Amino acid sequence: MTDPWQECMDFAVAIAKKAGQVIREAMKRDISVMVKSSPADLVTETDQKVEAMIISSIKEKFPSHSFIGEESVAAGEGCNHTDNPTWIIDPIDGTTNFVHRFPFVAVSIGFTVNKEVEFGIVYSCVEDKMYTARKGKGAFCNGERLTVSRQQDISKALIVTELGSYRSPEILSTILSNMEKLLRIPVHGVRAVGSAAVDMCITATGGAEAYYEMGIHCWDVIAAAIIVTEAGGVVMDVTGGPFDLMSRRVIAANSKVIGERIAKELQIIPFERDDGNQ
């Protein structure tokens, strides 16, 4: 039986490559920066241009499909996730990195049908690493199969997270205290690369044992989540419960053991859900 979504996946890889080329070219020029929800929440013309290019190309080929895009939502469109085939897009995951030319910048494209993720593409375009995963068929980077780390001892784990763009004293204090709790276990270390999608893909490669964050959005994690699970890892809520795409929080880990151990340390930061539900 032919895979009904393979054509969509092949198209996503091609469009992500094209978007990556646009981003790499833009990094050689002056970048005009605007701010969104906080002075550290940045957006550029390239984010908007790349998203428009991705969505218009997909719409032309698959006119009946739905879209959730970071910049479209920022411009006032809803974040309405239905059973219809849906493309969830982050044109530049790691915009602050892009602005500073810090080399971890990714195009993230996730695709869902009946709200189930069918495939995910994360193109780390400065490194030229194309991470891909198709449901039930494994995860790959530039064609090589990925497998998560086998480390089950939290004290030998390397953890990835992000400090985020929130600058309120309460949120910052919780972010830093969560990090401190993990360091006190102790873990081998905590890293922050500046892109949730790349952080999760590094976990999928076995380069880190886990990634966690609160305050991220569905478009940051959707594609990388299937890359982690198809590499043999797990995604869960920061409470240790089931992962909820719209909840704005996630732990991606090599195993349930490591994920749940991290969940035990984390104080929850309440963020409004992406879908606006309570």
Catalytic residue ranges: 70, 90, 92-93, 95, 220
Q: Counting beta carbons within 10 angstroms of the beta carbon of residue 29, is it exposed (0 to 12), middle (13 to 18) or buried (19 or more)?
A: exposed
**CA–CA separation, 6 and 235 (whole Å):** 24
Instruction: Decide: 106 and 121 in contact? Cβ < 8 Å.
Output: no
Q: Which residues make beta-bridge pairs with 190? A: 159
d(CA 59, CA 192): 35
Of residues 134, 184, 132, the one with CA closest to residue 159: 184
Buried b (16+ CB within 10 A) or exposed e, 118-152: bbbbbbbbbeebbbbbbbeeebbbeeeebebbebe
In one letter, which amino acid is 194?
Answer: G
